[in-house]
Structure 1
């Protein structure tokens, strides 16, 4: 029967192309399971097979645990350290105490158990072997043959006993893939589940489109053209932004190809129905957005950098084209550029801009106590908040031809007073008494610091000169002086302790 073990190991190893060591381990596991069935499933058994002769020995074993270990569960599998020492064994906690017991024969039951274990081990080894071969291909295109399709997704035969899975949500909507069809996909991930590692492929991921572009446009793979971004509604429409790294290359023409041959090949691979727009990337975000909105013609743009949004004005008759079916065009352009885009007719855009400007004009007239003419000049020069009027650098303010230094200083003082009153009325982020009365501090600066979370001398002492200069809009000399004044209590405490 010992030679039978060697025969089984040789046969399975050759048939399944896996190492003999893996099969020996499976046989040992099977014999250990047969041993537990004979002596009681509660025991722990280990079997050691001689790799040359096929002879094997069986041991019952106990794990040595600390006497105070709360995880001590079963005397059939564990033994206390003190008890092991009393029996004359010198063994450390965590090691195993073993005792030889009669071995079971490698008979029908053991062979059947061994077969089950071997099959499981071989499947696991084959799956790991396949996955290892594809681990470096994550993020790249792969090709396979449709093996079967159901409501859960599509199984691809990748060759050499490898299979991949396209989940239903990763397929192109409306696309019918028949058994036997050869298809490409984007290897998205190798997912680990209860059944082992699984190769997940996608045809709807935006990276599938990008990888196809790299495949069909040699200038992209040669880094003569860069793909700067892409947005996609799988099966319907997509936008790809490109730029040229060489001055004599037309990036859009290179991607489209002669008579549209290159982009048509990409479209065919995407199921034949998906329209792909090639967009010229530009570092100027307004120009980039105008390009991304194609085929709609943008007539006006109002940029709000703080909220990273834009109001886009188009011809009223072309409004539906600019928005796209179900908002698709503007949504893809927004995903491509990373900005929130609000599309409206030119008339609506102008009305909204005028309303916002009038609101700011009214704010300045009320809070700064100025007439409409002065408020309009401020708005036309780009001022939109009281904070900007109060703390914009003096030299920038003086660059306005309509204002002299006297008017500028008066406007700054009024804006700072308005902000101070606003902070007091809101009763939030008020400066503490020690900060208000600190030498070198004034009320306006104290309230401004409080809005930044610096409400006490202790808060001010923890700031650096660079931080305070940026937060308060003061020069480095004054910032350093204020910080040192705020830190004086620290030095006094150190002296007291000394």
Structure 2
């Protein structure tokens, strides 16, 4: 039985990838209980079982004294079968967990095994099953059973039934990884992906930059006659991809991020990381995009809040602001305080009248007494205006 046991463990190690040492330790642990039953011992702590790693001989000890009167071969045959399967399964789970934990942030391939309440169970080359939740599926995805699928490893959780491998096809990093696989210059580090924003199934914007002046970062990503980006678009079922040249010049970068719209002027507020982008009238809808998608993705890509305006809108807003300000003249309230009130959203006498002292004291430069005076002044002014009418 001794040599046969080692042969079985060696076979399992080769076939299942579970460490032989882990298995031997599992059998030793399992046999402690069996030896206890065989000799009628009450305490497990003073019993120890060892298996020789070379010849497979089994020895048992109680209080460091070897136990001689037990048929270890028979015990091994009876107990190893029952307990070793459980230990092997646990070890296999650990192997799978460790293997796929190392793949978090990578793309894996598999086939659609089955569907479960909108989620897709993916067979990962027979090694494990991955879950592609409905929320992580692109609206364009339409897989059938047995179909090959590629996905991004988002997370690996330890569960009682085994590792739960969460996959994603909506993550922007899925697209980033696809570019790494398709564009050698990105994989080699010559071209760097600086930022990426995505609305899965609709559009992705990816900003790239080349460390080598001789290498065109956008051209490298597009490929000869668009071959590289076409392969990625095919994988994403036709999702649109905008490849943008990254620049440390913010105005240049924002202009590129709003492509294909043409930009007239960009006004930066570096403190708030906001930018007012002025476009010609005929470019407004293009800059904003369908349902605001273009400006939304550009904001995510650049990390700046982008406000798209035409010159006509700005002029109109200024005129309206002047009118509103003229109507808000209050006794004892200076220009700066009025500007602060308008900026905080209190842009009418009605709003100031209905405001609480607590609300106004949230505005810089306005204390409780000042807030009380402003509210009273607004009420008085409105009362005067009503009387004059």
Is this a same-fold pair by TM over 0.5? yes
Q: Larger C-alpha radius of gyration, 1 or 2?
A: 1
1:213–1:220 Cα contact (<8 Å) kept? yes
* 2:185 maps to which of 198, 211, 219: 219
Instruction: Map 1:22-33 onto structure 2 (within 5 A).
Output: 22-33=22-33
Quote how far apart the aligned CAs of 1:158 are: 3.0
SS at match of 1:124: helix
Please say if 1:203 is aligned against 2:203.
Answer: no
1:29–1:114 Cα contact (<8 Å) kept? no
1:311–1:349 Cα contact (<8 Å) kept? no
Q: How many residues align?
A: 334
SS at match of 1:279: strand
Distance 1:56 1:425, change over 3 A: closer
**Equivalent in the alignment of 1:487:** none
* 2:123 maps to which of 153, 156, 159: 156
Quote how far apart the aligned CAs of 1:343 are: 2.8
**Equivalent in the alignment of 1:262:** 228
SS at match of 2:144: coil
Distance 1:300 1:20, change over 3 A: closer
Distance 1:279 1:34, change over 3 A: same
TM-score, with structure 1 as normaliser: 0.56
Instruction: Map 1:448-459 onto structure 2 (within 5 A).
Output: none
Instruction: Map 1:210-249 onto structure 2 (within 5 A).
Output: 210-249=176-215
2:5–2:56 Cα contact (<8 Å) kept? no
Please say if 1:330 is aligned against 2:295.
Answer: yes
C-alpha distance in 2, partners of 1:209/1:113?
51
* 1:11 maps to which of 8, 12, 22: 8
1:17-45 Cα deviation digits (max 9, x unpaired): 34544333333333334467789999545
More contact order relative to length (CA 8 Å, sep ≥ 6) = 2
Distance 1:296 1:39, change over 3 A: farther
Quote how far apart the aligned CAs of 1:147 are: 3.4
Quote how far apart the aligned CAs of 1:326 are: 3.0
Please say if 1:303 is aligned against 2:290.
Answer: no
1:9–1:23 Cα contact (<8 Å) kept? no
C-alpha distance in 2, partners of 1:350/1:43?
90
Shift >6 Å, 4+ stretches? 36-42, 97-110, 354-363
Instruction: Map 1:59-70 onto structure 2 (within 5 A).
Output: 59=62
TM-score, with structure 2 as normaliser: 0.69
1:134-177 Cα deviation digits (max 9, x unpaired): 55544333333333343333323235x35444333333234122
C-alpha distance in 1, partners of 2:65/2:369?
79
* 1:175 maps to which of 117, 141, 146: 141
**Equivalent in the alignment of 2:252:** 287
Quote how far apart the aligned CAs of 1:237 are: 0.8
SS at match of 1:193: coil
Distance 1:335 1:110, change over 3 A: same
SS at match of 1:183: strand
Gaps of 5+ in 2: 341-363, 371-389
Distance 1:243 1:352, change over 3 A: farther
**Equivalent in the alignment of 1:57:** 60
